[in-house]
Structure 1
Amino acid sequence: MAGWASKLGGEMIEPSATPRGLFHSYVRREPIGVAAQIVPWNFPLLMAVLKISPALAAGCTVILKPAEQTSLTALRLADFLNEAGVPPGVVNIITGNGHTAGDRLVRHPDVDKVAFTGSTEVGKIINRTATDSLKRVTLELGGKSPVIVLPDVDPAVAGPGTAQAIFFNSGQVCVAGSRLYAHKSVFDKVLENFAEAAAFWQPRASLDPDGHMGPLVSDEQFNRVMGYIEDGKKAGASVMLGGDTPASEGGYYVNPTVLVDVKPDMRVVREEIFGPVVVAQRFDDLDEVARQANDTTFGLAAGIWTNNLSAMHKLAAKLKAGTVWGNCHSMIDPALPFGGYKESGLGREQGRQGVEAYTELKSVIIAL
């Protein structure tokens, strides 16, 4: 992001409604001002840095509110920023609950922009509140991301890849591949390889060097995830894998879980669970799976697994998602804009667009 600070130029524009040579005009891109940034608990350091860096590159000052579950990470980051020479008052960290500290930030008359990453429910509240003073708002919200496996791909490749898409960070990821669609001709084989790969993601203590999936963040999140699993079973879903907690671990651990025999109207299919739970479904052709994948209020991300580059591009164009990955997942780069369609957010973060979101445009017209 540091490189963008010298690349946010304006532009010279010749007026079109007046005789040439009578006016000089140009467009300035200026810092928006004070940015209030509210970040979640699932990647506390990464999310703080991704929020702060574009704002500083654009010339703004920042008030960052970390999630109450992970506030110490942001406070330690503030120490590093001070050591690096960031002037006092440029980056400010406040802690507190969302309904108190967060709400005050969004309402404050001296805040010019609000950037929030978190649930769609809270994002809507923030957007409504910020609308009272017409603050600029960027929202990166929830997802229910589809991962699609076409019939030509090797199940031995797609199985581990789609498992990583959902089980990374215990499924506590906004782009987690929580809806798995595999072509009917390879469905069983993909799930077989998926289940084998799930052994790699068995829950372990966070500091265990052999562990790859730790606990959920809190008892509230643990109860939420287990509640969704039980709700899915009551609605008719079958547990192909997991659905329980490991006997050998105490704490908020949930085993990698696969639900099959699901229907489109089930809550486990439609709502963001934010845990290591995937629903697996069959499909017949590209048009059908595109309709299934798009049948959601979310639109943050999607994944496609195939060796057919033509099918990859055709399907990517059909999917209503802000990011589409091919034969990979969760590959997020600061050079590329990131954000969602529909109820997965407003605006974009990262890339040029993410930096420009912290600026305002000013037209200047001078008579000669």
Structure 2
Amino acid sequence: MTEYLMYINGEWVGQDLDKLEVVNPANGQIVGTVPIGGEAEAHEAINAAYIAFQTWSQTTAYERAGYLKRLHQLIVENLEELAQVMTSEMGKPINESRGEVAYAATFIEWYAEEAKRVYGETVPSHTREKRMQVWKKPVGVVAAITPWNFPAAMLTRKMGPALAAGCTIVIKPSGESPISAVKLVELCEKAGFPKGVVNLVTGSSSQIGKAIMENDKVRKITFTGSTEVGKVLIRQSADQVKRLSLELGGHAPIVILDDADVEVAVKGVMASKFRNAGQTCVCANRIYVQSGIHDVFLEKFAEAAKKLKVGDGISEDIDIGPLINRSSVDKVSRHVEDALSKGASLLAGGKALTDEGGTFYEPTVLGGVNPSMIIMQEETFGPVAPVQKFETVEEAIQLANDTPYGLAAYVFTQSVAKGTLLIEQLNFGIIGWNDGTPSAAQVPFGGMKESGMGKEGGHEGMDAFLESQYVAIGMN
């Protein structure tokens, strides 16, 4: 068992602190420990980042791009080690972990390039005696709070643009999967980032969060997590008017029209629903299928789900790894039991598999669901696919939009006209059209309504870490 440390001001620290045990959900074994840091360590990291900002913000875009390019290369070179760590600490099947690390690397590569494309403006003046300009400046010290389900990609999606813009960063990873963040920060050190530019604090979420929100040296919070916590951060940020980027909960619908290619739809829904055992904020949670193809889709979809292999993600042939903890299994079981008690039919799966000490749940397909069921109202975060029949496109739009969330949605149709009209009326920040995996580094990622504010990825992801400064120059 390895004892990992925190990284503050270019030093690995926390040897004398109490330790948090990181447990492999596939077998209950301890894979390592991290220090339980608190307010003192968080303030120390913030101060280091604040001091480093004074010089890092003055580096050229080409210099910052150089550091990020070296980091990108190191991630690529260490892909297998990072993937093995990820699977051991949070259970993701190893092939998915490899895919996530490769995806994480693309954010660093993209923002290494975007660092050189931060442009100001010269604005035409209304008078000959004045020149008008808009400058772009880094916002300052950034605190990044990352989730357990994508411990590498959600970090690089925040760290890449922050560092490229000239900000310094304090990272607080989830206590469920902090080791991936430690390994990435190790690579930051190898890439040569100056001390204080990148800092990592592990431990008490409440204490570290308190320090982040109360310290006026932190000017920007970027958070991925639940809507409930996001609302708390909004309230806490008000006193200092801290800038926020929030990627919060989702409850993604999939709408499959009669003219859809059934094979494409099944493949797309499988990719969306069962990736990471359904533990993704953009995975399919509500599947609406038009009556003309409902029965054939449901049959083929259930057959495909039954073929998925469940087990320890370290094995190469595993499709579904464990859920992150026992409480997640309990929640999934509660949602399935509620649906069955209200008339849903069980077409695949339906059982928890926890006899061997892991936290597994069978890939499950439910037919005949309706809006009264908890699973159609709450995000399940597990490998359960509820399918509901609908008749008209108008009905599907109403069902899909009937949620406070608006992160992702999916549409399957071969008609350009129907697809366009449908998407125009769906209130979601991300739409996959005949595509179950739409995310990429070069496009914006973020939601509407209670699914968050701000965007990550693409050029909009860089904008989140920049301030616009208007300069009026008198020519008298």
Q: Which TM-score tier does this pair reach, normalised by the shorter chain?
A: over 0.9
- The aligned counterpart of 1:10 is 120
Rounded to whole Å, the distance in 2 between the matches of 1:269 and 1:240 is: 17
Stretch of structure 1 that moved more, 357-366 or 245-254 = 245-254
Stretch of structure 1 that moved more, 308-317 or 49-58 = 308-317
CA contact (8 A) 2:268 2:437 kept: no
- The aligned counterpart of 1:107 is 214
Partner amino acid for 2:386?
Answer: V
CA contact (8 A) 1:159 1:192 kept: no
Unpaired runs of 5+ in structure 1? none
Percent identity, aligned pairs only?
Answer: 39
Deviation of the 1:125 alpha carbon? 0.9
2:133 counterpart SS class: strand
- The two structures, once aligned, show a CA RMSD in angstroms of 1.5
1:112 counterpart SS class: strand
Matches within 5 A, 1:21-36: 21-36=128-143
Deviation of the 1:249 alpha carbon? 5.5
Rounded to whole Å, the distance in 1 between the matches of 2:278 and 2:264 is: 20
CA contact (8 A) 2:312 2:321 kept: yes
2:153 counterpart SS class: helix
Rounded to whole Å, the distance in 2 between the matches of 1:196 and 1:242 is: 11
Partner amino acid for 1:255?
Answer: E
| Residue 49 (str. 1) matches residue 156 (str. 2) | yes
Deviation of the 1:27 alpha carbon? 0.6
Rounded to whole Å, the distance in 2 between the matches of 1:269 and 1:101 is: 35
The equivalent position to 1:326 in structure 2, one of 433, 436, 439, is: 433
CA contact (8 A) 2:432 2:438 kept: yes
Unpaired runs of 5+ in structure 2? 1-110
How many residues in Structure 1 have an aligned counterpart in Structure 2? 365
Change (3 A) 1:247 1:92: closer
Deviation of the 1:161 alpha carbon? 2.0
Change (3 A) 1:266 1:81: same
Stretch of structure 1 that moved more, 226-235 or 290-299 = 226-235
Rounded to whole Å, the distance in 2 between the matches of 1:109 and 1:201 is: 49
Partner amino acid for 1:85?
Answer: G
The equivalent position to 1:183 in structure 2, one of 290, 293, 305, is: 290
2:420 counterpart SS class: helix
**Could you list the per-position Cα deviations for residues 169-210 of structure 1 after superposition, in whole angstroms to 9, with x for gaps in the alignment?**
000000001110111011111011111111343312111111
Rounded to whole Å, the distance in 2 between the matches of 1:248 and 1:193 is: 30
- The aligned counterpart of 2:388 is 281
- The aligned counterpart of 2:225 is 118
TM-score if structure 1 supplies the norm length? Answer: 0.95
Stretch of structure 1 that moved more, 205-214 or 261-270 = 261-270
CA contact (8 A) 1:256 1:276 kept: yes
Change (3 A) 1:241 1:199: closer
- The aligned counterpart of 2:75 is none
Deviation of the 1:250 alpha carbon? 4.4
| Residue 299 (str. 1) matches residue 406 (str. 2) | yes
Rounded to whole Å, the distance in 2 between the matches of 1:132 and 1:110 is: 13
Partner amino acid for 1:4?
Answer: E
**Could you list the per-position Cα deviations for residues 132-158 of structure 1 after superposition, in whole angstroms to 9, with x for gaps in the alignment?**
211000100111101111111232332
CA contact (8 A) 1:170 1:276 kept: yes
2:334 counterpart SS class: helix
TM-score if structure 2 supplies the norm length? Answer: 0.74
